[in-house]
A and B are shown apart, each in its own frame.
Chain A
Amino acid sequence: MAEKKKVKKEKEPDITFYHPDLLAVPENEPPYLKGYKCKKCGQLDFPKVAPCPNCWGEEFEMVPLSRKGILYSFSDLYIGQPGLETPYICGYIDLPENVRIFAMLKGEVNTFKCDEEVELTTGQIRMNADGLPITSYMFQKA
């Protein structure tokens, strides 16, 4: 009886960006977050929620969000998630489009303040299951 040949399945390529629906990084241009406007009721959301929780619309138009916003609040974290190096900083950023973003902040602990201006950047947020870095959106002082 012929032995069955074991074919090892090729592994899917690693995602270095957390999700393409969230963030665009054009070449030679600054990155931007992708807002999604419901074509039925006009509600703008980030991240994309489908269907639209307001009207159950299913069609959306992508709208680039402002790159600068106001840091509503933050915390320096010394005990974090399993596998994340500490300390790290997180915050809520309010954008002019009336959207609040939760994000990691790039910078030093003990330096951020409520209501200061911050801007979008990108950076490594964590490792994936294969131990490779995942890049996503972050904010830093403007």
Chain B
Amino acid sequence: MKLQRDVYIAGVGETVFGKHKMDYDELGRNAAFQAIKTSNIDSPGMIGSAYVGNAHNGIVTGQTIFKDLGVCGATPIINVESACSAGAMAVHLAIKDVAYGLTELSMGVGAENHTLRRKSGTAFMPAMNDIETVHGGVMTGKYAMRATRYMYETGATIEDLALITQKSRRHGKNNPHAPFGGDYTIEEIIDSRMIAYPLTLHQCCGIVDGAGAVVVCSKEMMKKLGIEKPVKVRGSVVTSGPYHNRPRDITGDDITEMTSEMLYEESGIGPKDVDILELHDAFTIAELLYYECMQLCGKGEGLKFLRDGQATYGGQCVVSPRGGMLSYGHPIGASGAAQIAANVKQLRGECNGYQVEPIPKVAMSHVTGGGLSGTEHAACTMHMITADW
């Protein structure tokens, strides 16, 4: 999407992730109200439009979240679903409204509660009308097959994959929003129960509840609100997964390669200039492959990039500084919006105890969405934001 005018992020909100008794709407409202307050918005009428990402909590989720905030009425509230990409896609649509001058201020929210409704002990899967699903396909299996092939081709081991969990959970250790952050040994990670060979429990994101919210606005509105640390949206890209049932290299990811390429082009910011990155690390293998797909390093150099410390504090790009999905868990519709919220807080230096130093200037986020037979993922949404003060 070519931004037709400057778009800024005024404020963000996120809930603690984890197992909540609060349903998705209360979580979403908490995150949205936090974003509203940190944006200095003082009346519901200022919100020109709102988009809400959710995957599993039913119908009219956006209106359910926003009615208590007094926003329902002339304000269009649009519900967005694209599995894991939904929250980021909601933010993308809010950006689009401001970029094209349809509104001066819009919101993107992602909210999800899985644990109140979902049967535990089963894996997420595409819909039952998908031929792979009928034949037993689940998302863990899809990622596990990537890992199997990657290990076969490169000689990488489960211990190597476990390094990703160890790094990300260390990043999330002091982040109060990340329930799974902490110090883990490689043995603890590989000795946890097998979910889908070669991915063990600690190599998979937890199924949790949570919400994230992002307020975007025009330059004029940003001045009117008196935002001291405006974050500029430099690029926002949504794509859909190319479909074909030919053999493909699953140690790459066509949709992530395409989307990141488009984002670099749109933002004018290259992979080597990205200071921090929240990516779709639903499973360890994904992060390793995405280093390569996003050109943070060369093809086949992901493991070296990790081992050399290029993906942690002091490295070329701190990957998952909030702890990633491996520390947060993954409430499907919420994660994309929460990633952006976390990135904004890093750029503003608000992450006491897990702040990246020196304070980053450029932050990128990435969420794919779902799976479908003949695609790697059904959707991909990426954002590039920069400090602008």
Contact = CB atoms under 8 A, between A and B. Distances in A.
B373 A114 contact: no
A96 B29 CA distance: 53
A80 B123 contact: yes
B138 A98 contact: no
A114 B125 contact: no
A79 B148 contact: no
A78 to B, nearest CB: 5
Contacts of B133: 81
Given A78-B193, A78-B196, A99 B134 contact: no
Interface in B130-161: 131-138, 140-141, 144-149, 152
B145 A75 contact: yes
B120 to A, nearest CB: 10
Contacts of B244: 53
B17 to A, nearest CB: 20
Interface in B179-202: 193-199
Contacts of A94: 247
Interface stretch (A4-12, A56-64, A82-90): A82-90
Interface in B196-255: 196-199, 243-248, 250
Contacts of A104: 135-136
Contact of A100 (B119, B131, B135, B245): B245
Contacts of A73: 145-146, 148-149, 152, 250
Given A47-B131, A125-B135, A75 B119 contact: no
Nearest to A110: B197
Nearest to A137: B135
B376 to A, nearest CB: 12
Contact of A126 (B134, B148, B246): B134
Contacts of A46: 245
B136 A100 contact: no
Interface in A10-30: 18, 22
A121 B296 CA distance: 43
Nearest to A93: B247
A73 B175 CA distance: 37
Interface string A97-133: 0111111100001100111000000000110000000
Contacts of A100: 245-248
Contacts of B152: 73, 113-115
Q: Give the dominant DSSP class at A's interface.
A: strand
A47 B136 CA distance: 16
A74 B145 contact: yes
Contacts of A102: 131-132, 135, 137, 373
Contact of B245 (A74, A75, A79, A99): A99
Nearest to B243: A53
B149 A82 contact: no
Given A53-B243, A100-B245, A100-B247, A77 B144 contact: yes
Contacts of B197: 75-78, 109-110
A74 B196 CA distance: 10
Nearest to B131: A47
A78 B194 contact: yes
Q: Which of A92, A99, A101 has the most chain B CB atoms inside 10 A of its CB?
A: A92
A75 B145 CA distance: 5
A26 B256 CA distance: 43
B78 to A, nearest CB: 29
A45 B135 contact: no
A72 B248 CA distance: 10
B121 interface: yes
B43 interface: no
Nearest to A18: B134
B122 interface: yes
A91 B145 CA distance: 7
Contacts of A76: 194, 196-197
Contact of B136 (A22, A88, A92, A115): A88
Interface of B: 119, 121-123, 125, 131-138, 140-141, 144-149, 152, 193-199, 243-248, 250, 373
Interface of A: 18, 22, 45-47, 53, 72-82, 84, 88, 90-92, 94, 98-104, 109-110, 113-115, 125-126, 134, 136
8 contacts: A73-B250, A81-B138, A90-B135, A90-B137, A98-B247, A101-B245, A110-B197, A136-B134
Given A78-B194, A79-B122, A99-B247, 10 more contacts: A72-B149, A75-B140, A77-B197, A79-B123, A79-B138, A99-B246, A102-B373, A115-B152, A125-B135, A126-B134
- Complex A-B, nearest 8 residue pairs according to Cβ-Cβ distance, in ascending order: A75-B144, A73-B149, A114-B152, A73-B145, A76-B197, A102-B132, A82-B122, A94-B247
